[in-house]
Amino acid sequence: MTYDNANIFAKILRGEIPCHKVYEDQDTIAFMDIMPQAPGHMLVVPKAASRNLLDADPATLGKLMAVVQKVAVAAKAAFAADGVRISQFNEAPAGQTVFHLHVHVIPMHEGQRLGHHGGKQEDGAVLAANAEKMKATLAKV
Ligand code: 5GP
């Protein structure tokens, strides 16, 4: 399986399509999932190209997971969550739909049922407000 740089996250990384970004450093970005399974659902994405975890450079994974932790801690605080779900899918039979490595960070509340994976597109204003909430929290942690 090869990496196709026409995938949607490669386009976001090149600035060709917009996203509600919450975090960026030299190696990694994080932004709001456009079809959140719960309020505050984010994606953490390495800038280095790989289809998924299976073909990624281990050094990329190390930097990626450090940001996943930072975003998860901030998400728990920002959305007053009881827990945080981290998920990551490799190839279509496992649920992957966008073929650039990414990790889902989903704030969870007691008794909450997750929405459908790749379900309904969220209103831009809601995504923007949630991104602002996250950025404000990340600035403090
Ligand atoms: P996967 O199934 O590959 O692990 O998840 C891909 C995720 O990307 C899904 O949760 C989907 O909602 C999200 N997604 C798909 N297209 C876009 C997009 O154009 N912008 C953003 N921000 N998220 C997207």
Instruction: Give the pLDDT band (50/70/90) at residue 116.
Output: confident
Fold of 8-138: HIT family, subunit A (3.30.428)
Which of 17, 34, 18, 15 is CA-nearest to residue 102? Answer: 34
The predicted structure's pLDDT at residue 50: 98
> Is 20 tagged catalytic?
no
The answer to whether 70 and 23 are in contact (CB under 8 A) is: yes
Residue 121 has pLDDT above 90, yes or no: yes
Answer yes or no: is the C-beta of 10 below 6 A from any ligand 1 atom. Answer: no
Residue 1 has pLDDT above 90, yes or no: no
Please tell me the pTM assigned to this model.
Answer: 0.97
Instruction: Give the pLDDT band (50/70/90) at residue 115.
Output: confident
Indicate if the alpha-carbon torsion angle 43, 11, 23, 65 is positive or negative: positive
Q: Six-digit token pair at 20?
A: 């509600």
Residues 36-94: pLDDT tens digits? Answer: 999 999 999 999 999 999 999 999 999 999 999 999 999 999 999 999 999 999 999 99
Catalytic residue among 41, 102, 109, 116: 102
> Which residue from 85, 98, 123 has its CB within 8 A of the most atoms of ligand 1, so it is best to mutate?
98
Helix (H, G, I), strand (E, B) or coil at 137: helix
